[in-house]
Structure 1
Amino acid sequence: MQKSFPRKHPLTWALQEYGRLIKTVHILRWYADEINRRRHNRQINKGEAQTSLEYPVSASTFPCNTPLV
């Protein structure tokens, strides 16, 4: 009896494993480099702070046509 899905091709499997390896190495290097990690976190915090300021401004200036009950 044949399976409904054929087994993965060995090349596909190898490329997926290689991608996982590259991702793992990247994550480990990121954790190992504290200076870069702090710089990235500082940039992320700037973006999140800007987004948190934009939402109340846009929400307060947006006209609301539905009455509050």
Structure 2
Amino acid sequence: MKPSNPVTLSKTKKKGREHKETIVQSIRDGVEEFFLGSNKVMQVAIGRSDSDELTPGLHKVSKLLRGDCGL
């Protein structure tokens, strides 16, 4: 049995500074839309279970809201 060839990562493209700056800018733009409030109210708003969540998997976030949180 031959050993499998290792995967070289030298052919992957780096995202670079421009990509990171785009992400930083999108986060800064979104800061105005963030919501801060009671954890219980935010849990109800995003959904506490998979049957009442806004988007698939979002109810998992509501279980993690503890302390000072913002969305």
What TM-score does the superposition give when structure 1 sets the normalisation length? 0.29
Greater percentage in helix: 1
What TM-score does the superposition give when structure 2 sets the normalisation length? 0.28
Structure with higher RCO (Cα < 8 A, 6+ apart): 2
Larger Rg: 1
